[in-house]
Amino acid sequence: DGGITQSPKYLFRKEGQNVTLSCEQNLNHDAMYWYRQDPGQGLRLIYYSQIVNDFQKGDIAEGYSVSREKKESFPLTVTSAQKNPTAFYLCASSRADRGNQPQHFGDGTRLSIL
Amino acid sequence: AQSVTQLGSHVSVSEGALVLLRCNYSSSVPPYLFWYVQYPNQGLQLLLKYTSAATLVKGINGFEAEFKKSETSFHLTKPSAHMSDAAEYFCAVTHAGGTSYGKLTFGQGTILTVHP
């Protein structure tokens, strides 16, 4: 079945450590997105990519970095500069048409501080 | 700029009762609107979408929503709640064209509780 796979499901970060969250899709979608979810705040866009080797900052990109070397993969690195990384992180993908295509979501990675 | 307001962070209904989850949007151009559902510790699942075709949109699990341009609303309804409908629901808006096409703006979410 086609879908989006996020790993790991749970992740713990130590002080000063960078951690990378994996996101892989086999839906042949051009666009991919990373969101952060905090209780009562909905989803906030971190980064998005509409094509391989290109990506744009979202609303809360500080302390995060991404790469898009392959169409299927869009890993997110939470750097030590992100002082409050504890959250639920969701990856999504969609066809990059005129914006009317729904986004498909993975099952998320929950990041906590040790 | 675009934004979404979901009225009521928590809604509680009895099983078999009408479900009404409210969503108002703001967009300077014609919007595309979506409703998603999220079960605990899972990703979001698309319930339905409005993309400028019929204003009454039917989705999965018996849900529907009506786009009302004059009221800038896209409320989600279901005639009869089921226990399995208990989840968090998100309304989202985007629009065609421009450099930000496809970028979704989400509401804060509404947690639906269904009582037996």
Residue pLDDT, tens place only, B59-84: 999 999 999 999 999 999 999 999 99
Collapsing DSSP states into helix, strand and coil, what is residue B15? Answer: coil
Look at B106 and A43 and tell me if their CB atoms are within 8 Å: yes
A37-95 confidence digits (pLDDT tens): 998 888 999 999 989 999 999 999 999 999 999 999 999 999 998 889 999 999 999 98
Contact yes or no for A48/A32 (Cβ under 8 A): yes
Is the pLDDT score of B100 beyond 70? Answer: no
What is the C-alpha separation between B38 and B86, in angstroms, rounded?
Answer: 9
Q: How far is B46 from chain A (nearest CA, A)?
A: 7
Angstrom CA distances, B77 to A61, A67, A91, B51, B109, stand at 35, 40, 27, 18, 15
Q: How far is B28 from chain A (nearest CA, A)?
A: 15
Q: Which residues of B touch A105 (CB under 8 A)?
A: 36, 43-45
Q: Closest Cα to residue A95, out of B108, B88, B32?
A: B32
Look at A100 and B44 and tell me if their CB atoms are within 8 Å: no
B10-20 confidence digits (pLDDT tens): 999 999 999 99
